[in-house]
């Protein structure tokens, strides 16, 4: 006897995970999926995500980083500048660069986070 098995082409659950810059990318990808009306992941896990890449916005976490021995403020700024190489990009206006700017109407469609 020949048994034919049918496999699903797509998994039932997809979870997007990212930490630091990967968290930024995971959040931006989720926003893009919502805007393009594509299937969303079951959930997203953001581990200390870089949500605000505005170099001129001094948040409490950036102020704390001034004395951080592991990730010094100057190194963090170099990483931000390397990530946003095109000076025409506006991290203080673009939610794909700074996901903290994502409109509430889009965030309402986010999967479990």
The answer to whether 55 touches 93, Cβ cutoff 8 Å, is no
Q: What is the widest separation between alpha-carbon atoms in the chain? A: 70
pTM: 0.80
Task: Give 112's DSSP letter.
Answer: B
**Residue 9 banded pLDDT, cuts 50, 70, 90:** low
Q: What is the pLDDT of residues 12-35, one digit of tens each?
A: 899 999 998 999 999 999 999 999
For residue 1, pLDDT over 50 is answered with no
Q: What is the pLDDT of residues 62-107, one digit of tens each?
A: 777 778 888 777 888 888 888 888 888 898 999 999 999 999 999 9
Q: What is the mean pLDDT of residues 39-48?
A: 95
Classify burial at 73, counting beta carbons within 10 Å of its beta carbon; exposed 0-12, middle 13-18, buried 19 or more.
middle
Query: In 3-state terms, what secondary structure has residue 39?
Result: coil
Q: Which two tokens stand for residue 72?
A: 């010094």
pLDDT bucket at 47, cuts 50 / 70 / 90:
very high
Q: How confident is the model at residue 109 (pLDDT cuts 50, 70, 90)?
A: very high
What pLDDT, on a 0 to 100 scale, did the predictor assign at position 86?
A: 86
């Amino acid at each position: 006897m020949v048994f034919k098995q049918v496999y699903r082409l797509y998994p039932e659950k997809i979870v997007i995970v990212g930490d630091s810059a990967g968290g930024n990318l995971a959040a931006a990808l989720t926003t893009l999926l919502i805007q393009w009306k594509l299937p969303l992941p079951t959930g997203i896990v953001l581990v200390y995500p870089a949500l605000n890449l505005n170099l001129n916005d001094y948040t409490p976490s950036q102020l704390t980083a001034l004395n951080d021995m592991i990730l010094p403020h100057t190194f963090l700024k170099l990483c931000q500048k390397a990530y946003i190489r095109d000076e025409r990009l506006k991290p203080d206006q673009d939610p794909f660069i700074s996901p903290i700017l994502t409109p509430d109407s889009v965030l309402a469609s986010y999967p479990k986070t």
